[in-house]
């Protein structure tokens, strides 16, 4: 009996590279954890602030309502007013509180030029925060 050559399949070579996929997965999870917890760490300082006279909580932002109706007539806080008097009242308001917001309500049939004129009066008075009020569509 003769023993011949036995054929063997060659085994696979050992892997000599690092698999990056698990490393990237772990790093992404750590990044998400740090992003979520970082804001919580900065606000965890507890303080007992000193008490003093003259300190008050900030007032809520104030606003005035400026309406321009179909005829082009202006109303400030639901009171009819002419444009020269409107400029003076807006200037007084700006002197008292320059952060006052102007809530502008204009009828859709009012010409664009009239709306721009009223906006110009508010900006010239020093009131730069102008909000346009509209109705939602049904």
User: How far apart are alpha carbons 130 and 122 in whole angstroms?
Assistant: 8
Domain coordinates in residue numbering, the chain: 81-101+114-133
Residue 105, pLDDT score:
87
Residue 1 confidence (pLDDT) above 60: no
Of residues 36 and 14, which shows the higher confidence score?
A: 36
Residues 43-78 have pLDDT tens digits of 545 555 556 665 555 555 588 888 888 888 898 888
Sequence-ordered alpha helix ranges (H) in the chain: 20-42, 83-96, 112-125
Q: For the segment 19-43, what is each residue's pLDDT rounded down to a tens digit?
A: 888 899 999 999 999 888 877 765 5
pLDDT of residue 27: 95
- pLDDT at position 116 is 92
* Per-residue pLDDT tens digits for 74-126: 988 888 999 899 999 999 999 998 888 998 888 888 888 998 999 999 999 99
Mean pLDDT for 10-24 is 82
* Contacts within 8 Å (CB) and 24+ apart, 6-14: none
Strand partners, 67: 75, 105
């Amino acid at each position: 009996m003769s023993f011949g050559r036995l054929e063997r399949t060659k085994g696979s070579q050992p892997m000599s590279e690092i698999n990056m996929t698990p490393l990237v997965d772990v790093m992404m999870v750590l990044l998400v954890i740090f992003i979520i917890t970082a804001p919580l760490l900065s606000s965890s300082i507890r303080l007992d602030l000193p008490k003093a006279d003259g300190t008050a909580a900030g007032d809520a932002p104030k606003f005035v309502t400026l309406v321009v109706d179909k005829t082009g007539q202006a109303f400030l806080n639901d009171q009819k007013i002419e444009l020269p008097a409107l400029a003076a009242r807006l200037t007084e308001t700006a002197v008292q509180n320059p952060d006052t917001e102007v809530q502008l309500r204009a009828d859709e049939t009012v010409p664009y030029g009239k709306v721009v004129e009223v906006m110009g009066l508010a900006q010239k008075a020093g009131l730069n925060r102008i909000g346009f009020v509209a109705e939602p569509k049904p």
